[in-house]
Amino acid sequence: MKQSEIKELSVAELKDKLGETKKSYSDLKLAHAISPLENPIQLRSIRRTIARIATELTKRELQ
């Protein structure tokens, strides 16, 4: 998810997306621990998306 897409979402949508993304990340991490993923770079991209969403939420709270 790109930063421009994240900026267009409302706070409620961001919180929902953050929850979904964290769940997806934990599922992938568990699957990777059991047997290696075909594309382990997915973990990095999801982790970065979580950080982007969390940063945008924090930014909006401070405004």
Instruction: Give the pLDDT confidence of 32-53 residue by residue, as tens digits.
Output: 999 999 999 999 999 999 999 9
Kindly state the DSSP code that residue 58 receives in the 8-state scheme.
H
Phi, psi of 36 (to 5 degrees): -55, 140
pLDDT at 5: 94
Q: How far apart are CA 28 and CA 11, in angstroms?
A: 26
Residue with tokens 């945008």: 56
Mean pLDDT of 4-27: 96
What pTM was computed for the model?
A: 0.92
For the chain, give the mean pLDDT. 95
pLDDT at 55: 96
Q: How far apart are CA 23 and CA 8, in angstroms?
A: 22
Q: How far apart are CA 33 and CA 21, in angstroms?
A: 18
